[in-house]
Structure 1
Amino acid sequence: MTGVKHQKWWGWGVEGIGFDPEGKPAFAPFVKKQIGLDVSKPGIPPKFEDLDVPAPIIDGGLREQLLGIVGERFLLDDDLDRIVHTFGKGVRDLIRIRRGDLRRVVDVVVYPADETQVQAVVDACVEADAVLIPFGGGSNIVGALEPMPTERRTVVSVDLGRMAKVLEIDDESGLARIQAGALGPQIEEQLGRRGWTMGHFPDSFTHSTLGGWIATRSTGMQSDKYGDIADIVKGLRAVRHREVLALRPLPSTSSGPSVREMILGSEGRLGIITEAWVNVHRVPEVREIVGYFFPDFSSGLRAMKEINDSDAHVTVSRVSDANETQFSFATQRAQRGVKKIVMGSMFGYLKRRGWDLDQMCLSYIGFEGGRRYVKRNQAIVKEIVKANGGIVVGTGVGSVYDSKKFQTPYIRDFLLDRGATADVSETATPWANLQNLYDTTTEAARAAFEKARTQGFVMCHFAHSYHSGACLYFTFALPDTDAANTYANYDLVKRAIQQNFMDNAATVSHHHGVGSEHAPWLDQDISVAGTKLHRVLLEGADPGRNFNPGKILHDGKPGVAMHSSDAPLPGGVPGTPEV
Structure 2
Amino acid sequence: MTDVEHQKWWGWGVEGIAFHHEDKPAFAGFVLDKVGIDLTQPGGEPPTFDEIEVPASRLGDDLGAQLRAAVGDHQVSTDDMLRVVHTYGKGMRDLVRVRAGDLPRVPDAVVYPANEDEVRAVVDAVVAADAVLIPFGGGSNISGSLTPQPHEERTVISLDLGRMNRVLEIDESSGLARIQAGGLGPDIEEQLTTRGWTMGHQPDSFKHSTLGGWIATRSSGMQSDKYGDIADITRGFRVVLPGKVVELRPLPSTSTGPSVREMIIGSEGRLGVVTEAWVNVHRVPENRDVIAYLFPNWAAGLAAMAEISTSDASPTITRVSDANETSFSLATRKASKGISGKVGEGLFEVLRRRGWDLEKVCLSYIGYEGGTAKIRAEKSIVGKIIGKHGGIRLGRGPGALYDQKKFDTPYIRDFLLDRGAIGDVSETAAPWSKLGQVYTTTVRAARAKFAELGVTGFIMCHLSHSYHSGACLYFTFAFPPNADDDFLGQYDAVKTVIQQSFIDSGATLSHHHGVGTDHAPWLEQDISEAGTDLMVGLLRAADPGRNLNPGTLIPDHREW
Structure-1-length-normalised TM-score: 0.96
Q: Confirm or deny: 8 A CA contact 1:43 1:414 kept in the other structure.
A: no
Number of the residue aligned with 1:5: 5
Q: Confirm or deny: 8 A CA contact 2:454 2:482 kept in the other structure.
A: no
Say whether 1:346 aligns with 2:347: yes
Say whether 1:148 aligns with 2:164: no
Q: Confirm or deny: 8 A CA contact 1:39 1:415 kept in the other structure.
A: no
1:171-570 residue pairs with structure 2 within 5 A?
171-482=172-483, 484-556=485-557
Shift of 1:485: 2.7
Count of residues in correspondence between the two structures: 559
Shift of 1:481: 4.5
CA distance in 1, matches of 2:169, 2:310: 37
Number of the residue aligned with 1:24: 24
Structure-2-length-normalised TM-score: 0.99
Shift of 1:484: 3.1
1:151-170 residue pairs with structure 2 within 5 A?
151-170=152-171
CA distance in 1, matches of 2:399, 2:413: 23
Say whether 1:135 aligns with 2:136: yes
Q: What RMSD in Å do the two structures reach over aligned CA positions?
A: 1.0
SS in 1 for 2:462: strand
Q: 1:450-476: per-residue Cα shift (whole Å, max 9, x none)?
A: 111111000000000011100000000
Number of the residue aligned with 1:83: 84
CA distance in 2, matches of 1:17, 1:433: 39
CA distance in 2, matches of 1:272, 1:431: 36
CA distance in 2, matches of 1:358, 1:149: 46
Say whether 1:111 aligns with 2:109: no
Q: Which amino acid aligns with 1:314?
A: P
SS in 1 for 2:557: coil
Q: Which amino acid aligns with 1:132?
A: L
Q: 1:5-37: per-residue Cα shift (whole Å, max 9, x none)?
A: 000000000000010112101111111100111
CA distance in 2, matches of 1:202, 1:229: 10
Structure 1 gap ranges (5+): 561-579
Distance 1:483 1:74, change over 3 A: farther
Shift of 1:331: 0.8
SS in 2 for 1:246: strand
CA distance in 2, matches of 1:106, 1:537: 26
Shift of 1:39: 2.3
Q: Confirm or deny: 8 A CA contact 1:318 1:363 kept in the other structure.
A: yes
CA distance in 1, matches of 2:412, 2:3: 28
Shift of 1:557: 6.5
CA distance in 2, matches of 1:113, 1:536: 32
Aligned-residue identity in percent: 62
Number of the residue aligned with 1:63: 64
Of residues 392-401 and 474-483 in structure 1, the stretch that sits farther from structure 2 once superposed is 474-483
CA distance in 2, matches of 1:554, 1:72: 38
Q: Which runs of 4+ in 1 moved over 4 A?
A: none
Shift of 1:59: 1.4
Q: Which amino acid aligns with 2:251?
A: L
CA distance in 2, matches of 1:160, 1:83: 17
Q: Confirm or deny: 8 A CA contact 2:536 2:558 kept in the other structure.
A: no
SS in 1 for 2:500: helix
Q: Which amino acid aligns with 1:244?
A: V
Shift of 1:58: 1.6
Shift of 1:44: 1.1
CA distance in 2, matches of 1:46, 1:330: 29
CA distance in 1, matches of 2:141, 2:473: 19
Distance 1:14 1:534, change over 3 A: same
CA distance in 1, matches of 2:85, 2:219: 22
CA distance in 1, matches of 2:189, 2:121: 30
CA distance in 2, matches of 1:448, 1:19: 28
CA distance in 2, matches of 1:336, 1:148: 53
Q: Confirm or deny: 8 A CA contact 2:206 2:407 kept in the other structure.
A: yes
Q: Which amino acid aligns with 2:492?
A: D
SS in 2 for 1:408: coil
Q: 1:424-457: per-residue Cα shift (whole Å, max 9, x none)?
A: 0000000000111111110010011011111100
Q: 1:187-240: per-residue Cα shift (whole Å, max 9, x none)?
A: 100000100000000000000000000000000000000000000000000000
Q: Confirm or deny: 8 A CA contact 2:455 2:482 kept in the other structure.
A: no
Q: Which amino acid aligns with 1:380?
A: I
CA distance in 2, matches of 1:355, 1:213: 41
CA distance in 2, matches of 1:260, 1:457: 40
CA distance in 2, matches of 1:454, 1:58: 45
